[in-house]
């Protein structure tokens, strides 16, 4: 039978607010354990995916800006480690009401941080594409699609 409480818990709604502990059965507690586990795995996977994407974006932006290779690699590793640490804290935060609020805050901060970095990378990425177009002898205008030579 479909249990909406399990879905709400998976979506980070603290179950202790929805169902007081005194009314919880062993089945409820087992269900909460597995939904918390699944929710933690999902949060961790999303966080690591975001970290990998940010590391790749940072690597491209740092190369475009002419940053020294060793420094760029160090910055990318620090960025990756920070994002994975935030994802771990958010995943662990699913395991209780106090941890829930802390984990949710970290998850939102990770999302805002991702958005800020993505917006900051738009300019350098566009400049990079314009540089590619200029080097290949083509002009880049809004709406233009770069084609490969010989295609």
Indicate whether 116 belongs to any domain.
yes
Indicate whether 146 belongs to any domain.
no
| Per-residue confidence band for 151, with pLDDT thresholds at 50, 70 and 90 | very low
Q: What is the C-alpha to C-alpha distance for residues 83 and 55, in angstroms, rounded to an integer?
A: 9
Domains held by the chain: number: 1
pLDDT in tens, 4-63: 555 555 554 444 444 555 566 667 667 777 777 777 777 777 777 777 877 777 777 777
Q: What is the C-alpha to C-alpha distance for residues 149 and 116, in angstroms, rounded to an integer?
A: 34
CB distance 136 to 124 below 8 Å: no
pLDDT in tens, 110-138: 667 666 666 666 666 666 666 665 665 55
Q: What is the C-alpha to C-alpha distance for residues 3 and 133, in angstroms, rounded to an integer?
A: 55
Indicate whether 128 belongs to any domain.
yes
90 Cβ contact partners less than 8 Å away, ≥ 6 residues apart:
43, 44, 47, 103, 104, 106, 107, 110
Indicate whether 91 belongs to any domain.
yes
pLDDT at site 132: 61
Indicate whether 151 belongs to any domain.
no
Which among 93, 120, 124 is positioned nearest to 107, based on CA atoms? Answer: 93
149 Cβ contact partners less than 8 Å away, ≥ 6 residues apart:
136
Indicate whether 37 belongs to any domain.
yes
39 Cβ contact partners less than 8 Å away, ≥ 6 residues apart:
9, 10, 11, 12, 94
Tell me which residue range forms the domain holding 112.
4-135
Indicate whether 148 belongs to any domain.
no
Indicate whether 144 belongs to any domain.
no
CB distance 17 to 8 below 8 Å: no
Which among 74, 76, 83 is positioned nearest to 51, based on CA atoms? Answer: 83
């Amino acid at each position: 039978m479909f249990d909406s409480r399990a879905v709400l818990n998976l979506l980070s709604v603290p179950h202790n607010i929805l169902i007081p502990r005194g009314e919880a059965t062993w089945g409820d507690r087992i269900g909460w354990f597995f939904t918390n586990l699944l929710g933690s795995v999902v949060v961790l996977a999303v966080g690591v995916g975001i970290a990998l994407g940010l590391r790749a974006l940072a690597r491209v932006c740092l190369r475009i800006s002419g940053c020294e290779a060793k420094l760029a690699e160090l910055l990318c590793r620090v960025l990756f480690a920070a994002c994975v640490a935030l994802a771990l804290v958010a995943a662990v935060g699913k395991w209780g009401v106090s941890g829930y609020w802390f984990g949710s805050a970290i998850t939102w901060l990770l999302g805002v941080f991702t958005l800020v970095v993505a917006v900051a990378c738009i300019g350098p990425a566009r400049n990079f594409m314009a540089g590619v177009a200029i080097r290949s002898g083509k002009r880049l205008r809004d709406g233009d699609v770069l084609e490969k030579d010989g295609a």
